[in-house]
Structure 1
Amino acid sequence: MANNLRMLRDGRGWTQGEAAAALGTTRNQYVKLEGGSRRLSDKWIKLASDAYGVDPGDVVTDRSGTVPVAGYVGAGTEMHFYSECQGPFDEAPAPEDATPQTIAAEIRGQSLGPLFNGWRVYFDDRREAVTDDLIGRLCVVGLADGRVLVKQVLRGKAEGRFELHGQFGEPVLDADVAWAARVKSMMPG
């Protein structure tokens, strides 16, 4: 059971001391929990669940081999409301760097190139605002109008607006981005 604590901690980029503080315990106690030398009781599962913002089952269930396919992302500029009626639909093989928060989405469209239509894109660090480290990166972005796209994020001309680019097709200009997550990896579907 302790292996998921390590994956959860790594997914947040926390040190063992930071994880211990989030659980309200000492670093020494946390090391024992994470390493498996101390039993992960219901109390610790609940504390870890709250600290990491995941379901209790994600603390103890081995999901290292698969991740949920949450829905579809657009790789074009056409108007599709991908955020409505999304999954999870299926499970997909997990990439090597998967964390318990990693999810996959199927790419629909050809702005990344026809090869990537139908591929899966993997992401996990969803942010409610675009941060500087996402600029210039390929990201899954949720737009205020409900579309979810996979695009390179660049700063727009207006404050708080962004340009979203694919390899082909017209960019989405002056985009109102509600959330963004850097793409971890892509695999054929």
Structure 2
Amino acid sequence: MLIAVEQKYPNGLAEALERAGMSAAELARLIDTNRQNISRWSKGERELPRDVAEQVAPILQTTAAALLLVSSEETSRIPLGGRIVGGGMIDVSSNQDEPGVEYEIEIAVKVEGATVAYQVVGESMMPVYRPDTVVICRAHTPNVDSLLGRELAVGTKEHGRMLKTVHAGSKPGLYDLESFNAKLMRDVEVVWAARIAAIIPADEWRILERKAQVREQLKKPSQRQRRASV
């Protein structure tokens, strides 16, 4: 049983470790840090970083919001709808649906109006949108004309999903799509457009991706659980 003590940097890590039956050393091994860091965070001696909370939440079968003691009203859970190309002319046979909507992103901040997120591939929108950056988008709209001049996620008839700055084309219904580092695509038929509400940098996304890998560890009993069963 945990004894409540006043923490300099309050968080829910100690309680989550106890519920999961996991030691600080075991958690440290899973996230490639040392036991002292876990101990200091769980005791509130040091502030629990947001990226660490995002990383350990699935291991401890909780949420980053719970670890950070953030109200659920201040978090967003957003489906990852697949990949979006930040490039020029692309091979439309490539699978833009992976990794698929079975992934759901939880971020410890409220993003109003967010409906879907996409993982960026390609380099033509660098340095703002690097490969593996995740863009969180508002609702798709067929009214592309109302969003001209903005950086948008767009769905095109011939080239799939793309991340572009959108301009009017030579005739109604066609649009010029601009990248930072690629040739202008002229007179492209755009089916829908979506405003970008927020961005998860590539490094942060790789931490979220690792959650899928560590979930496999949850299927194995921890050392403490094995000792308790003897």
> 186, 189, 192: which is aligned to 1:176?
189
Gaps of 5+ in 1: 1-60
Q: Would you say how many aligned residue pairs link Structure 1 and Structure 2?
A: 128
Q: Structure 1 residue 163 and structure 2 residue 173: aligned?
A: no
1:126 aligns to what? 140
Larger-Rg structure: 2
What do the CA deviations read for 1:46-82 (whole angstroms, capped 9, x no partner)?
Answer: xxxxxxxxxxxxxxx9793431111000000222356
* TM-score relative to the length of structure 1: 0.59
- Say if 1:100 and 1:185 are closer, same or farther in 2 by CA, change over 3 A: closer
User: What letter is aligned with 1:186?
Assistant: I
Compared CA separation, residues 148 and 111, structure 1 to 2 (3 A): same
Structure 2 letter corresponding to 1:148: R
The TM-score, its normalising length taken from structure 2, stands at 0.49
> 1:29 maps to what in 2?
none
Backbone CA RMSD of aligned residues: 2.6
Distance 1:122 1:113 in 2: 17
- How far does residue 157 in structure 1 lie from its aligned partner after superposition? 1.3
% of aligned pairs identical?
A: 23
- Shift in Å at residue 172 of structure 1? 1.5
Q: Deviation at 1:145? A: 1.9
Q: Does 1:187 align with 2:219?
A: no
- Mapped to 1, the partners of 2:160 and 2:109 lie a distance apart of 28
Change (3 A) 1:64 1:166: same
Preserved CA contact (<8 Å) 1:81 1:146: no
Select 2:79's aligned residue among 68, 91, 109.
68
Task: Report if the CA contact (8 A) 2:79-2:104 is conserved.
Answer: yes
Contact 1:81–1:148 (Cα < 8 Å) also in 2:
no
Question: Which whole-Å CA distance do the structure 2 matches of 1:124 and 1:83 have between them?
Answer: 23
